Amino acid sequence: MKFERIDNNHVKFTFTITPDEFDHALQHAYRHIQDEVELKGFRKGKVSFNVYAQKVGLKGLYPDALNHAIGHKFDEALMIEEFVIVSEPSKVDIDFSKVSRTNPFEVSFVVAIKPEVKLGQYKGIEIPNVDTLVSNEEIDEEINRLLSMNATVEPKQEGNLENGDIAIFDFEGFKDGVPFEGGKAENYELKIGSKQFIPGFEDGMIGMAMGEEREINVTFPENYHSKELAGQPAVFKVKLHEIKVTKTSDLNDAWVETLNRDNIKTVDELKESIKNDIKSRKEQNARNEKIENALAKVVETATIDVPQEMFDQEIENFKRSVENQAKQYQLDLQTFITLSGLTEEEFEKQAQEASKRRVLQSLVIEEIAKVEGFTATEEEINNKYNELSEMYKMPVDEIKKYINDRLVINDITFEKALN
């Protein structure tokens, strides 16, 4: 194995692949297709590697075999202690005329490496405190939320549709007099004022009586996910079938007991509990905000030449995380972005900015831990495994199959650097 730096952030590796290594890689590639191989005189999936090599030849397996062999060489590269590799191989170079089962041949590839970090100021940074007082309005808002969660829904006995009512209705949307795809539903349930529909739709329904039909004129937002409808005027034909209202309980000790909260039996006890919860949440948010602001100052004074590959990888992680959030709501990524009030361009910008911030912050924290000599004791490592076990509801032995000591130690030193 040979390696050379080609710039501050990239290293080129050159490896020799021996005949034995390549033969092993070819057999590995063949196992992936063996079940589908059919040759005259042999049952499907029962053709051996040697027979296949004799009768068909192995050139067709070369691409997969080379990928497998290069993967093994990449694993070897990861063990080099001079630097930390932070990207997959790129710029793979192979002289295919020399690829052989009988003679060794060379392959090379380029990887990005973790950059050197030169810290500026990271001690004595003063960050203003964030207010964590809890107002009566915040407590009342949480109580109202709890009352709403435990509310019952009943048919409205009299009166027309008002803000806050629940409407059961049919609708169909038209653009230029023609129905558009996805614009029709029957017995749809919507709380008026929830802003689930495009602007103007819910306001246009206010005042309707049960059984009434109405046409509502709207204009789709410019950032609407359907480009055919974005910014376009449309008409919705609506028929209201039923109006429902939510009935909330009175705020009293009897209602508080129905919540089944430990040691909370009265309204005053509930308010005190809510106050403590909000204060804890605010204090945690305040701590996170102070850390974020302090890290921004540390990053600002540090000198780091980050390879683009690190940013690109974090952008992919960011998008994958958002996509997983969308799946929890049974939405595709594009719809989730639109419902978040963002255009594609705004989301892309947000992903890039957040990812850049994460990478730079992570690098300076690691460097602070290194400079300050933060380490993890055996007790701290065991405690961290127990925390993870509690979090994921898995035995520690099972956790260790997925997370090794090195990752746990990094996490502990990371936390010490933050503090």
Burial class (CB in 10 A: 0-12, 13-18, 19+), 299: buried
> What's phi and psi for 338, nearest 5 deg?
-60, -45
| Least confidently predicted of 267-276, 301-310, 359-368 | 359-368
What confidence score (pLDDT) does residue 72 get?
93
Distance in angstroms (rounded) separating the CA atoms of residues 92 and 70: 9
pLDDT, tens digit, 9 for 90 and up, residues 180-210: 988 999 999 999 999 989 999 999 999 999 9
Those residues whose C-beta lies under 8 Å from the C-beta of residue 325, and which sit 6 or more positions away, are: 336
Q: Grade residue 349 by pLDDT with cuts at 50, 70 and 90.
A: very high
For residues 149-178, give the mean pLDDT. Answer: 93
What confidence score (pLDDT) does residue 406 get?
66
Q: What one-letter code names the amino acid at 138? A: E
What confidence score (pLDDT) does residue 325 get?
86
Identify whether the C-beta of residue 196 lies closer than 8 Å to the C-beta of residue 223.
Answer: no
Distance in angstroms (rounded) separating the CA atoms of residues 140 and 400: 45
Which residue has tokens 């890039």?
A: 352
- Could you tell me which of 248, 244, 243 has the C-alpha nearest to residue 152? 248
| Least confidently predicted of 223-237, 352-366, 384-398 | 384-398
Q: What residue ranges define each of the domains in the chain, with the CATH number in brackets? A: 2-114 (3.30.70.1050), 152-247 (3.10.50.40), 275-418 (1.10.3120.10)
pLDDT, tens digit, 9 for 90 and up, residues 381-397: 999 888 888 877 788 88
pLDDT, tens digit, 9 for 90 and up, residues 75-132: 999 988 888 999 999 999 999 999 999 999 999 999 999 999 999 988 888 888 888 9
Question: Torsion over CA of 214, 241, 151 and 197, rounded to 10 degrees?
Answer: -40
Separation of CA 19 from chain center: 43
Distance in angstroms (rounded) separating the CA atoms of residues 300 and 294: 10
Find the farthest-apart pair of alpha carbons in the chain and give their distance in angstroms, rounded. Answer: 90
Token readout for 256 is 């508080």
What confidence score (pLDDT) does residue 419 get?
66
Residue 309 has pLDDT above 70, yes or no: yes
Q: What is the 3-state secondary structure (H, E, C) of the chain?
A: CEEEEEECCEEEEEEEECHHHHHHHHHHHHHHHHHHCCCCCCCCCCCCHHHHHHHCCCHHHHHHHHHHHHHHHHHHHHCCCCCCECCCCEEEEECHHHCCCCCCEEEEEEEEECCCEECCCCCCCCCCCCCCCCCHHHHHHHHHHHHHHCCEEEECCCCCCCCCCEEEEEEEEEECCEEEEEEEEEEEEEECCCCCCCCCHHHHHCCCCCCCEEEEEEECCCCCCCCCCCCCEEEEEEEEEEEEEEECCCCCHHHHHHCCCCCCCCHHHHHHHHHHHHHHHHHHHHHHHHHHHHHHHHHHHCEECCCHHHHHHHHHHHHHHHHHHHHHCCCCHHHHHHHCCCCHHHHHHHHHHHHHHHHHHHHHHHHHHHHHCCCCCHHHHHHHHHHHHHHHCCCHHHHCCCCCHHHHHHHHHHHHHHC
CA within 13 Å, CB half, 201 = 24
Give ∠ CA 356-87-373 in degrees, rounded to 5. Answer: 70
- For the chain, the average pLDDT equals 91
**Count of CB atoms within 10 A of residue 158's CB?**
5
